[in-house]
Structure 1
Amino acid sequence: MKTVSIVLCSFNGERFLKEQIESIVCQTYPIHEIIFQDDGSTDRTLEIAQTYADQYPFIRICRNTENLGFNRNFENALKKATGDFIAIADQDDIWYPQKIEKQVQAIGTHDLCISGYHTDATYQPGHMKKAVIPHHNLEYLLFYDSTPGHSMLLTREFAHRAFSLWDGHILYDWWLSVNAHLGNGIACVNEALNWHRPHQGSAIHKLNAQYASYLVKKPTWQPYLYGFKKFREQQHLATWNFFYGYIHQQTTPHKQALAHRLSGLLLKKDLWSLFQLCSLCMRFKRLIYFYPQQKGLISYVRSFCYPMIRAYGNTYFYL
């Protein structure tokens, strides 16, 4: 059997950690090892982890000597895994028993396998209603990190290869998904295999609070007006230019042609290029905008303005 390493990164996660670890050690697929890497917690996180490590010899606890932040913490921990496959775990979710088993069955020759997940406010086994199946084609991923790390199983070789080119500022899971498309592709299990706990203490919530405090709960005109300003602002960031420059170099007019053209336009700062970008988003809205519930004229308007709409709440490039 292929061996599976679990990488679980933590930071002050004592409130939810027990439930997550319990759901991992109860997987139907054998666990080769759990790399538990803490980023300088000041609560009882390490004490809880040590309790489980005393029960399960395959749990290996690592503690950073300095706070790396969630992005570099995951990258560093992934490099320590020795299994054929690596599954990524947040500290605050709950995995369903067959998560690893089903993803191992599905990954095939792909670099990466993702799965769906539930986002209900509370965990009620057998009664979960809000399932997210990530839309994950490359053109969609140019604008949105839709494949969170907790949904991922990947090969160890791919992880090492992808991070050899990483600059440290692009979200680690976004980087993995894009590079999988540039390599052997992504497989997907089209059912929810874990509960992703929604709460204000998550890393993404903190990132949004720091860099997008201007967001309103139910935006109307704001994404169009402020989105244009944020789009222009982000185009001058080094992370933006690294990310889209990399994709543009790795694709060609003959291989992944639409992603190649989109990434090239995202790098240009003149108004004509922006108009071309918006026109492509409208033309290929089923691949890029992907909002089948919205039809008619408004769907064309929103898909045309999609680069600005996404830029309005985008904090990915500020790491």
Structure 2
Amino acid sequence: MAKQCIMFQENIEKRYKVSVAMAVYNGEHYLAEQLDSILCQLRYDDELVVSVDSSKDGTMDILERYASLDHRIKVYKNPYSPGVVHNFQNALEHTIGDIIFYSDQDDVWMNNKIEKVLECFDDKLVTVVIHDTSLVDENLNIISPSTFKLRGGVRTSVLGNYIRLSYIGCAMAFRAKYKSVVLPIPTIYRSHDWWTGLICTMGGGKMVAIKECLIYHRIHSLNVTPKTRPSVYYQIQTRWILLFNMLKRYRKRISIK
């Protein structure tokens, strides 16, 4: 697998500098496997930016070992209050690439993911790309072959995603020129991906959904993704505040061509 990945990496046409923004917390069980699946697709001048919350396991040891052997890995401690949103925000702040990929700590990327996603950005109107995922258990056994089908399809419009989001953070990439509008991420939201996707697509941005599974998305007892469905009150309140914050940044968003 490693040899195949190296050959793939060398064959990627140099169109964009890629930044992968990863948030990590107590990730020692699956982190090395995920790092390997990403690094074998990155070119020499791409980067993997990792933000670490105050982990209490061997996460930092793994990251320090990898970073000592690979200049593309850049590790930063999260200076903000703990949590997924701030952890991703810290990683995002340190990226310098043209296209930014979000990444979880415990998935496995298929070895054509970056190539497939970058092809979509050759359309200059495309601002954000998502793709399908295969849900797997701890041992990579398939639970569901398609997240898109499990969710009843995918929406690409701003309004559709405002009402019911289709964005999957671990399966998302976007143009870095919108980073200044995305940041800072409002902390009321449970996720960074909903906010990022809406900011990138409002004002005429185009979203592409690749109907191909490009990662194995692990579901296990240590996931930090919220497991409970928020109350109706919370959902209504969140959408009002979301709309308010979107309108505040609308002028800045449409100024970016």
Where does residue 242 of structure 2 map in the other structure?
Answer: 243
Deviation at 1:158, TM superposition (A): 1.2
Where does residue 135 of structure 1 map in the other structure?
Answer: 154
CA RMSD of aligned residues (A): 2.5
Aligned-partner residue type, residue 196 of structure 1: H
Q: Does 1:106 align with 2:127?
A: no
Q: Matches of 1:249 and 1:62 in 2, distance apart?
A: 29
Deviation at 1:160, TM superposition (A): 2.1
Query: What is the percentage of aligned positions where both structures have the same residue?
Result: 25
Which blocks of at least 5 consecutive residues in structure 2 are unaligned?
Answer: 1-13, 251-257
Q: 1:201 aligns with which of 208, 222, 231?
A: 222
Q: 2:33 aligns with which of 12, 15, 19?
A: 19
SS at match of 2:232: helix
Where does residue 104 of structure 2 map in the other structure?
Answer: 90
Change (3 A) 1:66 1:162: closer
Give the number of the structure whose residues are more often helix, by fraction.
Answer: 1
Q: Matches of 1:51 and 1:30 in 2, distance apart?
A: 18
C-alpha contact (below 8 Å) 1:28/1:97 kept by paired residues: no
Where does residue 180 of structure 1 map in the other structure?
Answer: 200
Q: Matches of 1:46 and 1:28 in 2, distance apart?
A: 22
C-alpha contact (below 8 Å) 1:37/1:61 kept by paired residues: yes
Larger Rg: 1
Which blocks of at least 5 consecutive residues in structure 1 are unaligned?
Answer: 213-229, 252-319
- Deviation per CA, 1:120-162: give whole Å up to 9, x if none: 33425xx886122361333331233321211111111112222
- Deviation per CA, 1:69-127: give whole Å up to 9, x if none: 11111012112100111111100100001111110011222111111110133425xx8
Q: Matches of 1:234 and 1:161 in 2, distance apart?
A: 23
C-alpha contact (below 8 Å) 1:40/1:67 kept by paired residues: no
Where does residue 3 of structure 1 map in the other structure?
Answer: 17
TM (norm. structure 2) is 0.78
Deviation at 1:205, TM superposition (A): 3.6
Where does residue 169 of structure 1 map in the other structure?
Answer: 188
C-alpha contact (below 8 Å) 1:5/1:31 kept by paired residues: no
SS at match of 2:136: coil
Give the alignment of 1:1-319 within 5 angstroms.
1=14, 2-27=16-41, 32-65=46-79, 67-107=81-121, 108-109=123-124, 110-121=126-137, 122-123=139-140, 130-133=145-148, 135-137=154-156, 138-163=158-183, 166-170=185-189, 171-183=191-203, 184-206=205-227, 208=228, 230-232=231-233, 234-235=235-236, 237=237, 239-246=238-245
Change (3 A) 1:80 1:233: closer
SS at match of 1:37: strand
Answer 1 or 2: higher relative contact order, Cα 8 Å, separation at least 6. 2
Deviation at 1:200, TM superposition (A): 2.6
- Kindly report structure 1 stretches of 4+ aligned residues shifted beyond 4 Å: 28-31, 246-251
C-alpha contact (below 8 Å) 1:5/1:82 kept by paired residues: yes
Aligned-partner residue type, residue 242 of structure 2: F
SS at match of 2:111: coil
Deviation at 1:174, TM superposition (A): 0.2
Paired positions, count: 226
Change (3 A) 1:22 1:203: same
C-alpha contact (below 8 Å) 2:78/2:86 kept by paired residues: no
Q: Matches of 1:33 and 1:161 in 2, distance apart?
A: 22
C-alpha contact (below 8 Å) 2:162/2:239 kept by paired residues: no
SS at match of 1:244: helix
Deviation at 1:67, TM superposition (A): 4.3
TM (norm. structure 1) is 0.64
SS at match of 1:68: coil
Give the number of the structure whose residues are more often strand, by fraction.
Answer: 2
Change (3 A) 1:167 1:117: same
Change (3 A) 1:70 1:111: same
C-alpha contact (below 8 Å) 2:51/2:76 kept by paired residues: yes
SS at match of 2:225: helix
